[in-house]
Amino acid sequence: MRRIVIGGNWKMQVTSTTEAVSIADDIAQGLSTLSSVHVFIAPSFTELYSVNKAVKETQLKLAGQNMYYHEKGAFTGQISPLSLANLVDYVILGHSEPRRIFGETDEFIRQKLLKALEIGLIPVLCLGETAKEREEGNTKAILHQQLAGSLKGLQIEKMKMIILAYEPVWAINNKFLNPDTEIRPATPIEANETHTIIRDWLKNEFGAPVAEEISIIYGGSMNAQNAKELLALDQIDGGLIGGASLSAEKFLPIIRTAAHLLENRSTDYRWESNTLRFDE
Ligand code: 13P
């Protein structure tokens, strides 16, 4: 089902439980009138238990930042999908940080994706090219490679569960990923082009009706200012936000923008509860 999704990826930025719970509480309170948008945050694994307790009865959902594909066993340092499923609804997979810093491959990501689907977690599959790959004219090839590597041959019913996140590496506010290039958000034209490449690949692989049902969200230096023009595009169904998700003050305006812009679209979002409008 195509949804409007705004996710907050906290990465390794919030290292105290008290702080994590306090930010999550603030975000959850601000959401009480915003049910047209599906919102999640992904705190560190060590904060998930406490944050889960704090937001359980609210509309704010949680995501794991990654997971392993075996359920149990001698895998030092890994997170079991079963442990995660007790605490979260979503799991971020294939993010450029584990891909490009820790060497995760498409096949490794595919295994995790299959496991996430098997146990009922919603995968948020991230894709994106580096500045060099873009400069060399390889954006489409890289996206196709990442899509095929993790999704080719997937059953249509499973495909419909997945959220895709286009995150150009060069736009992610991360100096380790981008040591030599200026970090900037994608322009609406760039984002529209790549989202269209992704949706066209989905059409070819799974057919147009399925492709139209899949949410493709954008990530990379998104904030309250640039969210307005990015989320105004029909091809962008939400955002995956790093830095600007670390406080309610920065995160809620993005969610508000999403709610305002997207509810007026012709796309059938078929949200489960469509009762509200956001009060400024
Ligand atoms: P920033 O919003 O900090 O650039 O991070 C984007 C991201 O990687 C979200 O997953």
What CATH number does residue 271 fall under? 3.20.20.70
121: amino acid identity, one letter: L
| Degrees, nearest 5: CA angle 194-199-202 | 130
Token pair, residue 88, equals: 């979260």
Given a cut of 60, whether residue 280 has pLDDT beyond it is no
pLDDT attached to residue 41? 98
Test site for ligand 1: of 12, 163, 164, 172, most ligand atoms within 8 A of the Cβ: 172
Q: How far apart are CA 126 and CA 147, in angstroms?
A: 9
Q: How far is the CA of 219 from the centre of ligand 1 (A)?
A: 6
Residues β-bridged to residue 61: 40
pLDDT tens readout for residues 121-148: 999 999 999 999 999 999 999 999 999 9
Which positions ≥6 away from 256 have C-beta within 8 Å? Answer: 34, 278, 280
pLDDT attached to residue 268? 61
Q: How confident is the model at residue 32 (pLDDT cuts 50, 70, 90)?
A: confident
Q: Residue 126 sits in which domain range?
A: 5-278
pLDDT attached to residue 86? 95
Which positions ≥6 away from 225 have C-beta within 8 Å? Answer: none
How many structural domains comprise the chain?
Answer: 1
Nearest to 23 by CA among 249, 275, 253: 249
Given a cut of 80, whether residue 237 has pLDDT beyond it is yes
Test site for ligand 1: of 44, 125, 221, most ligand atoms within 8 A of the Cβ: 221
Q: Average pLDDT for residues 44-67, to the nearest whole number? A: 97
pLDDT attached to residue 260? 87
